Amino acid sequence: MAATKIIDAPRNGHEMAPLNTRARGDGSHGVTIVLTAPQRNSVSSVEIPGDPERAAWSGKMQFFLSIIGYSVGLGNIWRFPYLCQQNGGGAFLIPFMIMLILEGIPLFLIELGIGQRMRLGALGVWNTIHPWLGGIGISSCIVTLFVALYYNVIITWVFFYLFNSFRYPLPWSSCPTNETGAVIEECALSSETAYFWYRTTLDAAPSMEEPGGLKWWIVLCLLLSWTIVFFIVMKGIQSSGKVVYFTSLFPYIVLTIFFIRGITLPGASAGLMHMYTPKVEKLGDPTVWLDAATQVFYSFGLAFGSLIAFGSYNTPKNNCVRDVLLVSVCNAITAIYASVVIFAILGFKATANVDRCIEQNKDILYKHSMIISPNVTMEQYEAAMEGANMTDTKLGLSVCSLSKELDNAAEGTGLAFIVFTQAIVELPGAPFWAVLFFTMLLSLGLGSQIGILEGMLCTLFDIDIIKRVKKQHVTGVVCLFCFIVGFIFCTGAGEYWLKMFDSFAGTIGLVVVALMEMIAVVYIYGHERFTEDIYQMTGYRPGWYWQLTWRYIGPVIMVGILASSIIFMIIKNPTYNAWNADTGSVQQKDYPPWVMGIALTMILAGVLPMPIVFLMRSFQCLKVDLDIHQGSIRRNETTASTKEMIDNDDDDDEDDFSGPALGGHVKTHSDASDDDEDDKPVTMRSTMLRISGNHLDVPSSRKSFKMEVFDL
């Protein structure tokens, strides 16, 4: 049998011998396997692994807007302002910025940079760094699925409110009446906006154990949400990349409109002063720093695999360091900007409530002849109130305090659907402002949901079997599955289930994944190698700041967040707020044991794939073949640049290097040093062993191809 000549590659002491295998003796085709290490002596010498036909951004703006749309989400609107108010006002910006610098930005660059370097999704990246780390990608995908399930439910509720915003007057501006014309007691005991949220929108059940049936209006809105999401992401960034121009830019337009309107409203200055007045003593509270670290972690959308996917669509020479800094600054500024807008309008709402309270007190005082007219001056009113307080007569007067009104803060759905909707009612032309507000929430939610699903789908398409299926079909199956599972959020206990998912499914799992990502890149892949990768891609070599945060500070902060989350979960009995129709208020209830069992299952499902894959591969419980290491071993079809070398290889029959496809022995170059194997990274040595222990499935066509094993 004729032999072939081995292709010479640049030698730097880390090469393994090329293998050439002829599957047939008639010379119909050949297979060449070349194992090389990338040249690292210049920026221009970078060799990028991954799929050569991978989708790419159509432009820099599309990538930047996609990252902004994903990172800047609902948390910037309804979580950050609440944290500022509760954790020291303006003083909270100090721990927030410190955690942003020490935790957020370094981990952001790790995910974006490693994705761009390897041009693979989360599963492919961690399999490439080391097969034992493949569970990180699986865990990330599972946790992302849990979050995608309930995140789209929030978009569902936004759709319901958006549709009702076109009614005049707004349906949450007044309490409904019964057949006799009397106000419904449940609404009278609570408020117009609270009643519309809990009864009209959710038809809230008394507890998780009594969920009631499906609410058809929520099911229809959920179907609409998943249908829109499907059409946006069904073709990957080719379709979603066009939508981000709206989902990323429109919220800033709306925030600016609300800002201009908000600062002109009475009471806006009071709201801003209440929020940003620094309470420096709060900085001594460890929970303030923990809240800051947690907010930074979740506001960037770290550990979902989405940033890795977005980075993998970049060109190899994209300046990812600059992108990380720009997005980080933009994210922080957006959170502060949104807080100004929110509290300017909440200050107006608080002032309106205080004025209404004073008017009610004046009417009471007038009825008891303590003032001469309801239109007395504030001095006369305050004097009458002092006199009334000195007497023991119970007149039913209320305490009208602006600070008390501003202290009644809310976060999450409570802020968006109860507190802020009440502020919108006070504005002239309320339906217009309601449409603007909920369209902004819709664009923010869709932008984040697009990124979440893109990260999960990109991970799925790292699996060879799924890669053979059209992306539209896979996306359709995923969206249909999520829609069906989402029925659990369409019952009367839907909000309670969402709170449970938010508290358990996307907390511990994400932090563990982020910690393992940092360890994998810095200590297994190697911080020096990753630093060199960044230099090759951008021309910038990360200095001491990046090294300290990657190697020491970042992992310590991640461990701190993880430990505190577990401790608080154990010490504080997990509860949820259930709506009590009899009192018109929420009351805390303990999760039923079976619900806590589901919560524990979700946590384990997001964490266990990492140790399971590690143990099964380290003890060789699974037969590891080439398909699961697509980042390390892949097939490149012959191109014009390689055709001549392959043809020369086929024409020269001096030596015979029969390889594993024929059961032959794997030989090395005669001039290769015996110490080469010891110099190779663990991932490269183990890759060679896997090749020599498997049979290569060689196609029967005459088309030549080259299979390369890259040392990353």
What pLDDT is recorded for position 492? 93
DSSP reduced 3-state for 547: helix
Q: Which ranges in 419-463 belong to alpha helices (H)?
A: 420-426, 430-460
Q: What percent of the chain stands above pLDDT 70?
A: 79
- Entry field: residues in the chain: 712
For the stretch 484-520, pLDDT in tens is: 999 999 999 999 999 999 888 878 888 899 999 999 9
Give 83-138 pLDDT, tens digit per residue.
888 888 888 889 999 999 999 999 999 999 999 999 888 888 999 999 899 899 99
Q: Tell me which DSSP letter residue 40 carries.
A: -
**Structure pTM?**
0.78
Distance CA 202, CA 414 (A): 13
* Helices 122-129 and 134-164: angle between axes, nearest 10 degrees: 160
Q: What is the mean pLDDT of residues 1-17?
A: 41
Q: How many CA atoms are closer than 13 Å to the CA of 259, on its beta-carbon side?
A: 12
Q: How far is CA 611 from CA 125, 350, 604, 619, 625, in A?
A: 17, 52, 11, 12, 20
Q: What HEC string does 635-677 produce? A: EEECCHHHHHHHHHHHHCCCCCCCCHHHCCCCCCCCCCCCCHH
What was the pLDDT predicted at 76? 86
CA distance 560 to 292: 12
Place of tokens 């893109």: 454
β-pairing, 31-36 with 633-637? unpaired
The token pair at 650 is 């086929």
Per-residue pLDDT tens digits for 572-596: 888 898 999 888 888 899 999 999 9
3-class secondary structure, 706 = strand
Q: Which residues are annotated as a binding site for Na(+)?
A: 69, 72, 76, 299, 331, 444, 448
- Report the candidate in 607, 624, 50, 644 with the shortest Cα–Cα distance to residue 309: 50
Token reading at 634: 């892949």
Q: Contact at 8 Å (CB) between 665 and 634?
A: no
- Cβ atoms of residues 310 and 240 within 8 Å: no
pLDDT reported for residue 254: 94
Query: Residue 492 in 3-state DSSP?
Result: coil
Is the pLDDT higher at 495 or at 659?
495
Q: What is residue 41's three-state secondary structure?
A: coil
- pLDDT value at residue 539: 92
- Residue 242 is predicted with a pLDDT of 82
Q: Specify the pairing of strand 31-36 against strand 575-580.
A: unpaired
Which helix (H) or strand (E) is 35 found in, with range? strand 31-36
- Quick one: pLDDT at residue 508? 86
For 63-80, write each residue's pLDDT tens digit.
Answer: 999 999 898 888 888 888
Which tokens belong to 627? 């398909």
Angstrom distance (rounded) from CA 707 to CA 698: 11
Higher-pLDDT residue of 644, 538 = 538
Tokens of 62: 């599309």
Mean pLDDT for all residues in the chain: 79
At which residue do the structure tokens 């630093």 appear?
531
- pLDDT at position 532 is 94
How does pLDDT run across 681-693, given as a tens digit for each residue? 444 444 333 333 3
Which is it for strands 633-637 and 585-590: parallel, antiparallel or unpaired? unpaired
Overall CATH class of domain 60-619: mainly alpha
How many Cβ atoms are within 10 Å of 409's Cβ, its own excluded? 18
> What is the reported pLDDT for 394?
67
Q: Please tell me which residue, 494 or 5, carries the higher pLDDT value.
A: 494
Lowest mean pLDDT, pick from 40-54, 506-520, 544-558, 597-611: 40-54
List the one residue out of 385, 355, 359, 390 whose CA is nearest residue 370. Answer: 385
Residue with more model confidence, 17 or 348: 348
Question: Of 177-186, 636-645, 696-705, where does mean pLDDT reach its minimum?
Answer: 636-645
Q: What's the rounded Cα separation, in Å, for the pair 682 and 529?
A: 14
Q: Is the pLDDT of residue 701 over 70?
A: no
Q: Is the pLDDT of residue 635 over 80?
A: no
Residue ranges at the known binding site: 69, 72, 76, 299, 331, 444, 448
CA angle 362, 365, 368 (to 5 degrees): 150
